[in-house]
Amino acid sequence: MELINNILYDTIYHSTPIILCVTGGMFAYKANVLNIALEGMMLNGAFISTLVMFFTGNLPLAVFLAILTTLVYGLVFSFMGITCKGNVIVVGLAINLIVPAIAGFVMKMMETANINLKNVNITKYKINIPLIKDIPIIGSILSGHPPITYLAFIGIAIFAVLMYKTRFGIYVRVVGENEDSARSIGIKTGFYKYAAVLIGAFCCALAGVNLSVERLGLYTNDMTAGRGFIAIAAIYCGQGEPVLSSLYAILFGVARSLAVNLSIYAGPAAGLFDIIPYIIMVAVLAAVSIVKHKNVKVRGFKC
Amino acid sequence: GGGKDDGRADSGEKKDVKIAIVCDSAGQNDNGYNQTAVEGAKKAADELGVEYKVVEPENGVPAALETLAEDGYNVIFNLEYDFDALIKGVGGSEPIAVMYPDTTFVCVNDNPNQYDDGNVIHDNVICALFDVHEASYIAGALSVQVLENKDILFPAENYSFTDLDKGGRTIGFVGGTNSNGITVFSDGFIEGINKAAEDLGVNYDYYAKYDAGFSDPATGSTVAGTYYNQGANVVYAVAGSVGDGVASKAKEEKKLAIHVDADKDDMQPGYILTSVIKNTSVPVYDITKAYVDGTIDDMDRLQTFPLASGATDITELTQIKQAIADTDEAQAKWEEIMTYVDDLKTQIADGKIKVTNAQIGEAFDPSACKNVTIK
Amino acid sequence: MSMVEVVDLTKRFGGFTANDKISLSVEEQEIKCIVGENGAGKSTLMNMLYGLLQPTSGKILIRGKEVQMSSPIDAIAKGIGMVHQHFKLVPSLTVYENILLGVEIKKGKTLFVDQRTEIKKVRELIDRYHFELDPLDKIEDISVGGRQRVEILKMLYRNVDILILDEPTAVLTPQEVDDLMVSLKNLKKQGKTIIVITHKLREVMELSDSVTVIKKGKVAGHVKTKDTSETELAQMMVGRNVVLTVSSERKGPVSKDIIYEVKDLCTINESGKEMVSDLSFRVHKGEILGIAGVEGNGQSELVKLMTGLMESTKGTITFLGKDITNQWPAQLRREGIGIIPEDRYAQGLCSDMSISDNCIAGYHGNPDVCKKGIFNQKAICAKRDNLIDEFDIRLGDINEKIGCLSGGNAQKIIVARELSADPKLLIACQPTRGVDIGSIESIHKHILKFRDEGNAVILISCELSEILSLSDNMIVMYKGKISGRVSQSEVETESIGLLMAGIQPGGKGAVHE
Amino acid sequence: MNKKEGIIRNILNSILPIFLAFVIGGVVIACIGENPMETYWILLKKSFLSSTGFMNTLHYASPLILTGLAIAVTFKADLYNMGVEGQMLFGGFFAGIAGAYITGMNPFLHKFICFAAGVLCGMAFALIPALLKAKCRVNEMVVTLMLNYAMAKALEFLSTGVFRDLGSGYVATPIIKESAMFSRFGRSRLTMFFVIAVIVLIIMYVVMKKSKLGYEITAIGKNSEFAEATGMNVAKKTIVLMLLSGALAGLAGAGYMMSEQFKYTLNFSGTPGLGWDGMLIALLGGHSPGGILIAAIFYAALKTGSDNINMYTNVPKEIVALIQGLIILFLAVKFISERMDLKGRRLHNGTDQ
Ligand SMILES: Nc1ncnc2c1ncn2[C@@H]1O[C@H](COP(=O)(O)OP(=O)(O)OP(=O)(O)O)[C@@H](O)[C@H]1O
Ligand SMILES: Nc1ncnc2c1ncn2[C@@H]1O[C@H](COP(=O)(O)OP(=O)(O)OP(=O)(O)O)[C@@H](O)[C@H]1O
Ligand SMILES: [Mg+2]
Ligand SMILES: [Mg+2]
């Protein structure tokens, strides 16, 4: 029972940053911009928020500056990739290099290898919902998480509405699907691409805050550990649909949580458990794809 | 960070002694193993007037060793486990130790510089080993002692330990990777737990994960979370930044963690029971001093730093002591535990207690630890 | 006062002058046709009128006032709307979303789009202009004609007075063309001014009030429609006499040797629906078999099956006595089947590759250009030069990308490539879609010559006149089946129209599914 | 005339970003009170101007050339093989195993076996996404991304388990035998592996520019529907290209193992990893073999430069990483675009269907 609760709680834990990256990244995906810099942006969010917390202890300021600086990266990405028509993969990879370089540089100047928030008690951030928290299974899913975790899940719905029910969402999709047609009716395609990337930056910053300040109270230079790339994978799996992509993110959270929680029973084979999340993703993807294409008689990949 | 070097190190005109520290991947500011080595170098610079250089190699340790030796550094400390190029030579070239016979190389944490028969291979290579298994042993014994007396020692409102008879006699271990350098900690730790458990007539469960990596604190946090939820009251982390996640989780769960390398007790004050220190500044300073004094050739080519040397130990416990309840009973108990711990230290120093040292290839025998169930 | 007036409008692309001092004027409530060869500069001119391109020099006057348009938004604000040659619709959105794209109706001051009102408005619009559309259909699911209507509605919703249509009929079925002409005339009655670019002179004569002919970026002449004829226009465009309908007259009867046989062929689409069901026909030596039908009745799938782009679920295809069912395009070409694919720039050519690369596509493994996997660049260039010579392909720089060629010349490259490989059978789909009359003439001549050499041709076209004039026999497809077979001697346009609608002439009612 | 203009533009386009990045980096260096010119001089001198330094640069460029090519052959065909890192690790790992566990072998044969092991492993890894793409139409980018992580974990498992060097204090496989090691040229670190990489590069040049396969790669990349319709079996070609890419990546890993690392450690390919570096190199080199060669050498110079700056100045090595990132960022953009009017040109897209 404890184990199940644990698995569920950790699922939410591990899903959150990925969901945030997914919901942020899918607008860029829909706008036909491959934002491979999710990883770097998330890292920046984590770094700046922890840094500001370290020096000021002021959480709102930390979150604000984390978002602001990540938006700057978003702007750089957009400017180089969209306005200057640079190769977005290269731009994204460059940002993924620059963020840890700057963070590493600052920490070197601070003569530390990671930033530890002694002034922060992360239990304080946890929202324990009365009554619900005592219900077995549901309690560990719904209660005891920090605010951004709740935001992330609420965000799925908000972004789904934004994507499908508002003009903004329609335009982003139009820009991605047929830039010519968008231009021919005078939609400022650049603006929507910028906006899509910046939404991504915003969410990634929150993901970073969640990962560092809220959950751990510390920052280390590769703490994002590839979560941004996993998010990209989830976005592709879900083809940028908010709910579907988020489900893939959660799937990953489940797999990861299972891997961590079950590995303590696995003895020497525990090392192999870490492979599970990735294999599950691939297997699910393959299964979905096979079902989807079972009737396709057209050859080639354009269908 | 940085040293005093001014970029003209290759002029070769200076007669001054130059030493270099080649860091491992954690980097010079790791608040641990590398950093203390740098502190040792600083101390040597201040007191002995040597020049020092700290290098964080990008293209591998061998390349850095070679370049430094080429540039006339006299003593080069290698904190990374990569010794093949130095001792054996790779790719058809001579060992670096042979290429630069006038340079003294120091291998920290391992003893690759001996033939199977125990004879030294290169005279200009010194190896420094820390008996961290002994410090871990103390940490293990301390954990049990503290847990068994937790209700007396700690104010109930600050901690939420699992009851001892409801699975609270559980201790976890999170290791970065499954290597001798890590298991040496775990083995000593288990033996220490076993010793104290035996003395108190109780039985402990032991969880261990040896592949948590060194960089993702979130992994440390979740693994520790799992342990704590399984009833563990202490988790010992030997996994770099992952350990920071463990410590953070300890605070979150209001339980205890044990950290490693440097005194990190103040990272989450009150929730880090102790840290197992590996004080690399001692060998760095000592060997540099020997070089400056000209006595380096008389030194043993294998330098071991046991518990008694002070280079490895647990911390002074000042942080945790502040968390102890202000009652007389608690204070008295604490003193009692301290006595117990000091006694163990003496016994180890005297050789009465022998702790398994995986670093030199000794095999750990779980069946000898009857009071610990390894899960 | 003229509605639109263009004075000395010039557009240069680098060193190339696409429009050279063009002047023309369009009166209010007039339908103006603009004709000219491929690459003459028609689209360029219209794009300037719509603000998509900016003129290098010259003036545009709307209702007598000079205007500067930097984007389509400006153009729409000035009452100009355009339906492009290549539709600018978003396939995954619905009809109503596409129509209202850019002018969405919001719920009050919120961010949300008021979908209900939008749908209602679009319904009203559709009813007002008597267009046949369902606002809730997705664009990717509707026919080409439907898409065109959406494009037109998109402009009408924006209340434009001047409507520009760039080759609106190139992809429409005859029925749809007729419907469109009726609609356009209606619009004119309702006060709109319309500019139409087309290659089809019949439509020009039927629809327009006046015609402007453009040749190589310059105006070759303005005429009133009632004062001119198709032949005169053709002469003006091409600069020589053009045979408007090449006669397929043959020297003798079709041979009895069967070259190609399709038997009980079936296939399904993604959702599992049978798109081609139990289809059978034969092609003989020296025969042109035309396949007619309204788009969406399985021709496209049939073509994919015949050209190796799709797999069948049942049935066989035999070629020269050999079973070639489900073979890949490379194998088919090696067997001796030449393929002119349906979509020139999607399947026939690669716009981003050079002319020589495109000249060997499909035959790039042949020993004459490729030995042991390595290309013989000299042979490739020689082959390219041969094709260009032989088929009179006109291009500027030989090292240009294919995408820079005009439609007609690009199409001629495909025809040249496929015929030069000496196939026994040519599968030609829409071989003259969007191609100017001069090129149509030459492509048709090549096809007939190929047949007369004793080879067979399967011709699939939604241009009924093309099928009627070229083919010896024809079959009509309806809902994946053959609804009728006719030979040229007994053909009547009307009965074919009925067959295409699934009705057997003689009042026998609909063909069974 | 036109060509000349293009060349000048290309040169400017590559120099300007580098210049800009160094200026920004210089400002940062100056801000921390160090001398930027001196720092850069060390970078230049140690990476290019001394013969040993230059040879070392070439040495570190060798695996990058191969991973760059591995990326280029797939990216050019519009296939996103993000798994080059994993393929390289896999290949390197088993080349190391073959090198360590096979004894008493003729050195030439031994190296050949190691290379074969590396190439086969690289291909085996690549086969999974290739088959999934070709047979089930699964997005290869996602699969390769996922498998990278899975591979790193699996190799960690193997190197801490069955293949662990028990004598080593950290996680490492046993060191490879002398017969599997490439020996250096003189005092530099350069080995035959560089020559092999260059030979492979030349072969790939011919393949990509002059061969049927190269033609097909371009066609599939530019328009896969066209490719399919003109008889290139895209599914089959996908498998071929992924295997080729995997083989190149495996070769890179094997060569790196035999010329530099000699054993597999958890830090085998460094950060961000040779496969990821390869991606940048392929993109910067415009997917063309010549460009890849230049980009790889340049990138390797920065890498060695990083160590040298670290060793000879007090500038933290993060500065080099920062400059590296900035260069890449700026290189992504063509500062001097083609003639404006050419830029606006749209190619026909065909009728809308
Ligand atoms: N953006 C551009 N850049 C350079 N050249 C262009 C551009 N757009 C068109 N052209 C060239 O200008 C000429 C006129 O093109 P345009 O599209 O106006 O011809 P068109 O008369 O519409 O032909 P079609 O009947 O084939 O549609 C062609 O030679 C074309 O290659
Ligand atoms: N037109 C041709 N005439 C004669 N032989 C040909 C011709 N085209 C191809 N071949 C040869 O037939 C053999 C099989 O051709 P095929 O194209 O199937 O080869 P492949 O290896 O499958 O090529 P691809 O990679 O293009 O699929 C090859 O040896 C090829 O050289
Ligand atoms: Mg046109
Ligand atoms: Mg073939």
Domains belonging to chain D, first-starting first, are 1-34+316-353 (no CATH), 58-313 (1.10.3470)
- What are the two backbone dihedrals, phi and then psi, of residue C453, each rounded to the nearest 5 degrees? -80, 5
Which of these, C245, D236, C105, B234, lies nearest to A299 by C-alpha position?
D236
Residues from chain A contacting residue C71 (CB–CB below 8 Å):
186
Q: What is the C-alpha separation between C258 and C322, in angstroms, rounded?
A: 12
What residue ranges in B90-247 does DSSP mark as E strands?
104-108, 125-130, 170-175, 204-209, 234-238
Residue contact C364–D342, C-beta within 8 A: no
Rounded to an integer, the average pLDDT of D40-64 is 91
Evaluate the CA torsion angle A106, A111, A115, A119 in order and state its sign.
negative
d(CA A299, ligand 3 centre) in Å: 31
Q: Which residue of C has its CA nearest to A176?
A: C90
Q: How many CB atoms sit inside 10 A of residue A260's CB?
A: 28
Which of these, D50, D37, D25, D21, lies nearest to D316 by C-alpha position?
D25
d(CA C410, ligand 2 centre) in Å: 26
Measure in Å the smallest separation between the Cα of A271 and chain B Cα atoms: 6
Strand, helix or coil for residue B51: strand
Distance of CA D42 to the CA centre of its chain: 25
Residue contact B59–D178, C-beta within 8 A: no
Angstrom CA distances, B207 to A207, B104, B132, D161, stand at 31, 42, 20, 19
Lookup: tokens for B299: 């030194």
Residue B121 confidence (pLDDT): 92
Reported as a pLDDT band with limits 50, 70 and 90, residue D348 is very low
The mean of the pLDDT values for chain C is 87
Rounded to an integer, the average pLDDT of C147-168 is 88
Whether A235 is covered by a domain: the verdict is no
Residue C55 confidence (pLDDT): 93
Strand, helix or coil for residue C256: coil
Domains defined along chain C, listed by start: 2-238 (3.40.50.300), 258-347+422-500 (3.40.50.300)
Q: What is the C-alpha separation between B216 and D138, in angstroms, rounded?
A: 30
Q: What is the C-alpha separation between B218 and B230, in angstroms, rounded?
A: 18
Angstrom CA distances, D140 to A285, D119, D177, D253, stand at 11, 20, 36, 21
Amino acid, single-letter form, for residue B196: A
Rounded to an integer, the average pLDDT of B239-255 is 89
Residue B44 confidence (pLDDT): 93
Amino acid, single-letter form, for residue C319: F
Angle at the Cα of A17 from the Cα atoms of A12 and A23, rounded to 5 degrees: 105
Residue A47 confidence (pLDDT): 96
Reported as a pLDDT band with limits 50, 70 and 90, residue D352 is very low
Amino acid, single-letter form, for residue A134: D
Residue B329 confidence (pLDDT): 92
Residue C509 confidence (pLDDT): 44
- Which of 7-66 (A) contact D at CB < 8 A? none
Predicted complex ipTM:
0.85
pLDDT in tens, D211-224: 999 999 999 999 98
Distance of CA C38 to the CA centre of its chain: 13
Q: What is the C-alpha separation between B261 and B32, in angstroms, rounded?
A: 5
pLDDT in tens, A242-279: 999 999 999 989 988 888 888 777 767 777 888 888 89
Q: Is B282 left (phi over 0), alpha (psi -120 to 50) or beta?
A: alpha
Measure in Å the smallest separation between the Cα of B335 and chain D Cα atoms: 37
Peptide bond into B269 cis (omega under 30): no
Q: How many CB pairs under 8 A join A and B?
A: 100
Q: Is A146 left (phi over 0), alpha (psi -120 to 50) or beta?
A: beta
pLDDT in tens, D69-78: 999 999 999 8
Q: Which residue of D has its CA nearest to A92?
A: D329
Whether A189 is covered by a domain: the verdict is yes
Using CB atoms, pick whichever of B55, B179, B361 lies closest to residue D170. Answer: B179
Percent of chain C at pLDDT > 90 equals 42
- What are the two backbone dihedrals, phi and then psi, of residue C215, each rounded to the nearest 5 degrees? -135, 125
Lookup: tokens for C228: 């001119």
Yes or no: say if C53 and C452 are a contact pair by the CB < 8 Å rule: no
Evaluate the CA torsion angle C166, C170, C175, C177 in order and state its sign.
positive
Q: How many CB atoms sit inside 10 A of residue C487's CB?
A: 11
Residues from chain D contacting residue B181 (CB–CB below 8 Å):
169-170
Q: What is the C-alpha separation between C19 and C48, in angstroms, rounded?
A: 10
- Which residues are paired to B209 by β-bridges? B174
Whether A264 is covered by a domain: the verdict is no
- What are the two backbone dihedrals, phi and then psi, of residue C481, each rounded to the nearest 5 degrees? -125, 170
Using CB atoms, pick whichever of C14, C308, C346 lies closest to residue D339. Answer: C14
d(CA C248, ligand 3 centre) in Å: 29
The mean of the pLDDT values for chain D is 87
pLDDT higher than threshold 50 for residue B165? yes
Q: Write the burial class of residue C319 (CB in 10 Å: 0-12 exposed, 13-18 middle, 19+ buried).
A: buried
Yes or no: say if A274 and C250 are a contact pair by the CB < 8 Å rule: no
Does residue D346 have its Cβ closer than 6 Å to ligand 1?
A: yes
pLDDT in tens, B4-57: 444 333 433 345 899 999 998 878 888 788 889 999 999 999 999 999 999 988
d(CA B76, ligand 3 centre) in Å: 74
Lookup: tokens for B325: 């309840």
d(CA C336, ligand 2 centre) in Å: 14
Yes or no: say if D145 and A234 are a contact pair by the CB < 8 Å rule: no
Q: What is the C-alpha separation between C19 and C49, in angstroms, rounded?
A: 12
Whether A153 is covered by a domain: the verdict is yes
Q: What is the C-alpha separation between D164 and D335, in angstroms, rounded?
A: 50
Q: What does the DSSP assignment read for B229-253?
A: HTT-SEEEEESTHHHHHHHHHHHHH
Residue A302 confidence (pLDDT): 60
Whether A35 is covered by a domain: the verdict is yes
Whether A113 is covered by a domain: the verdict is yes
Residue contact A90–D283, C-beta within 8 A: yes
Q: Which residues contact C356 (CB under 8 A, 6 or more apart)?
A: C380, C381, C383, C384
How many domains is chain A partitioned into structurally? 1
Helices (H) and strands (E) in chain B, counts: 12, 13
pLDDT in tens, D108-163: 999 999 999 999 999 999 999 999 999 999 989 889 988 998 999 899 889 888 89
Which of these, D268, D89, D109, lies nearest to D180 by C-alpha position?
D109
Residues from chain A contacting residue C104 (CB–CB below 8 Å):
167, 170
Residue C436 confidence (pLDDT): 84
Say if B and C touch: at least 3 Cβ pairs within 8 Å: no
Residues in chain C: 513
Residue A42 confidence (pLDDT): 96
Q: Pick from C4-8, D6-10, D270-274 the range whose average pLDDT is largest.
A: C4-8
Whether A180 is covered by a domain: the verdict is yes
Q: Which domain holds residue A88?
A: 12-224
Residue carrying the six token digits 């890192």:
D85
Nearest CA to ligand 1 atom 4: C13
Q: What is the C-alpha separation between A219 and B146, in angstroms, rounded?
A: 30
Q: Is the pTM of this model over 0.90?
A: no
Nearest CA to ligand 1 atom 29: C39
Helices (H) and strands (E) in chain C, counts: 16, 24
Q: What is the C-alpha separation between C237 and C225, in angstroms, rounded?
A: 15
Q: Which residues contact B190 (CB under 8 A, 6 or more apart)?
A: B140, B206, B364, B366, B369, B372, B374
Using CB atoms, pick whichever of A10, A121, A257 lies closest to residue B251. Answer: A121
Q: Write the burial class of residue C112 (CB in 10 Å: 0-12 exposed, 13-18 middle, 19+ buried).
A: middle
Q: Is C92 on the interface with A (CB under 8 A)?
A: yes
Residue contact C434–D351, C-beta within 8 A: yes
Distance of CA B183 to the CA centre of its chain: 12
Yes or no: say if C413 and C405 are a contact pair by the CB < 8 Å rule: yes
Does residue C366 have its Cβ closer than 6 Å to ligand 2?
A: yes
pLDDT in tens, C385-407: 999 998 888 877 788 888 778 77
Residue D336 confidence (pLDDT): 62
The number of C-alpha atoms within 13 Å of C201 and in the hemisphere containing its C-beta is: 22
Q: Is A290 on the interface with C (CB under 8 A)?
A: no
Measure in Å the smallest separation between the Cα of A132 and chain B Cα atoms: 19
Nearest CA to ligand 2 atom 30: C365
Q: How far apart are the first and last CA of chain B?
A: 43
pLDDT higher than threshold 90 for residue A39? yes
Which of these, D249, D97, D278, D243, lies nearest to D180 by C-alpha position?
D97
Yes or no: say if B207 and A267 are a contact pair by the CB < 8 Å rule: no
Which of these, A42, A86, A302, lies nearest to A193 by C-alpha position?
A86
Nearest CA to ligand 2 atom 7: C366
Best of C331, C333, C334, C335 for a ligand 2 pocket test (most atoms within 8 Å of beta carbon): C334
